[in-house]
Amino acid sequence: MTTTTTTEAVIGAALPPIVKEIPQRRIDAYSGVRPNYIHSDEAFARKKGFAAPLAQAMMSTAYVSELMTRFVGAGFVKGGRLSMTFIKPVLAGDTLTVHGVVKERQPEGGRTRVTVEVWCENQHGEKTAVGTASGLTD
Amino acid sequence: MNASDDSRTTTPRHHAAHHGGRLHAVRPSTTLGPTPRSRKEPPVEFPKLTYDRLQVGEEFVSDTLLVTPEVIETYAWAVDDHHPWFSGDSPFGGPVAPPTMLGNQALHLRHSRYTVPGGLHAKMEFEFVEPIRPGMRTRSRGRVTDKYERRGKPYMVTEFTTEDERGTVLVRGRFTQMLFRD
């Protein structure tokens, strides 16, 4: 798997986006299924004001993790950091596109920590999660 | 969830800046130690989690999870991420799990003591310290570090570490959850 070297991590460079379809079955596999649970119980989700069960917000951190592991490789699996704020619910059946733009490079222990601004957008172009992620490159 | 109404969510914070690279609030351990509920402890009664009942400083410990290839495969399928390192060789020697895979072990810590009426996840911070590997037996420990109300909604903040059976820290972080009142 190709990973990034310091020279490739140019500030302002956009990472190849990832597109994720999120059917209920994958939410079930992620979160489990039980009654009175906003991730699997449609009636409960509606009672709480949502049109459908919600994908667990943590799934978006997994998508960003995938983006970063593709980008920096081992330096994300060991030494990576991720900070996200969840600003809009993701519903079962939504499609998210995960974006990243290189924001900063800082020396760290003889390597370079590359920080990426990351965000997820739904099929309506609305941001659902925003944050930063970083990993170490050689 | 509209976590944008939480002004403290707008600035990402790295642990190193605030904690010298380590989340000090979570009790370290050298081994997995005894099961969380020893013979001296009463049975867990699982009261309903309410904002008033929750105490800042309260600590939680998860049960252990054996990381099997099936656990990794299920997670990878759930998030549709089939990186070859999850099932084959990796730069770490053998397969590794997706770095975020144990997030729910930490996020569900409060369920070890309470019946939780539900809530929404507002913020998540991870620091991936060591790779998660199949065969590890992992446990998460957490401490409630803050609770507050914003626009009429109650929130709780938990710092956590996730360790393997030798006490090696694999992941640490912090998360903010909004509580449903009922």
The whole-angstrom distance between A101's CA and the closest CA on chain B is: 16
Asked whether residue B83 is domain-assigned, the answer is: no
Q: Which residues span the domain enclosing B150?
A: 46-68+100-179
Residue B79: is it exposed, middle or buried by C-beta count within 10 angstroms (0-12/13-18/19+)? Answer: buried
pLDDT of B35 reads 52
Kindly give, in sequence order, each residue whose CB lies less than 8 Å from that of residue B175, ignoring residues fewer than 6 positions away: B106, B107, B121, B123, B124, B125, B157, B158, B160
- Secondary structure element (H or E) that encloses residue A70, with its range: helix A58-72
Question: A13: domain CATH number?
Answer: 3.10.129.10
Interface of B with A in 64-83 (CB under 8 A): 74-75, 77-81, 83
- Whether A69 sits inside 8 A of B92 (CB atoms) is no
The amino acid at residue A10 is V
In a domain, B93, yes or no: no
Interface contact flag, A77 B85, Cβ < 8 Å:
yes
Residue A129 lies in a domain: yes
Q: What is the mean pLDDT of chain A?
A: 94
Query: What pLDDT is attached to residue B142?
Result: 98
Please tell me the total count of domains within chain B: 1
Asked if residue A70 is part of any domain, the answer here is: yes
Indicate which CATH number applies to the domain containing B138. 3.10.129.10
Interface residue of B65, B82, B104, B124 to substitute, partner A, most A CBs within 10 Å: B124
Give me the helices (H) in chain B, please. 15-19, 69-78, 103-107
Task: Give me the pLDDT at residue B29, please.
Answer: 45
Q: What is the pLDDT of residue B37?
A: 54
Task: Chain B: give the shortest CA distance to residue A66, in Å.
Answer: 7
Is B107 within a domain? Answer: yes
What per-residue string of b and e applies to A85-94 under the rule 16 or more CB within 10 Å gives b? bbbbbbbbeb
**Identity of residue B42:** P
Residues of A in contact with B180 (CB under 8 A): 48
Task: Give pLDDT tens digits for A17-44.
Answer: 999 999 999 999 999 999 999 999 999 9
Q: What is the DSSP string of B147-174?
A: EEEETTEEEEEEEEEEE-TT--EEEEEE
- Is there a domain that residue B146 lies in? yes
User: Residue B102 — left, alpha, or beta (φ > 0 → left; ψ -120 to 50 → alpha)?
Assistant: alpha
Nearest alpha carbon to residue A59 among B174, B1, B155, B75: B75
pLDDT, residue A75, reads 97
Please report the pLDDT score of residue B14 as a whole number.
35
Low-confidence residues of chain B, pLDDT below 70?
A: 1-40, 182
pLDDT digits over A55-93, tens only? Answer: 999 999 999 999 999 999 999 999 999 999 999 999 999
pLDDT at A6: 52
B30 against A13, higher pLDDT: A13
Residue B180: per-residue pLDDT: 87
3-class DSSP assignment, residue B61: strand
Domain membership flag for residue B117 = yes
Count up the domains in chain A and report the number.
1
Q: So what's the pLDDT on residue A3?
A: 58
Tell me: the pLDDT tens digits for A87-127? Answer: 999 999 999 999 999 999 999 999 999 999 999 999 999 99
Residue B38 confidence (pLDDT): 55
Asked, for residue B32, whether it belongs to a domain, the answer is: no
Domain-located, residue A50:
no
Contact A57 B120 (CB under 8 A): yes
Complex ipTM value:
0.94
CB B179 within 8 A of CB B34: no
pLDDT of the residue at B105: 97
Q: Under an 8 A CB cutoff, do A31 and B107 touch?
A: no
Residue A97 forms part of a structural domain? yes
Calculate the CA B104 to chain-centre distance: 6
Residue A88 lies in a domain: yes
Q: Which domain holds residue A99?
A: 6-24+55-137
Quick check: is A42 in a domain?
A: no
* B93 Cβ contact list (under 8 Å, min separation 6): none
Nearest CA in chain B to A18: B81
Domain assignment present for A49: no
Instruction: Give helix then strand counts, H and E, for chain B.
Output: 3, 6
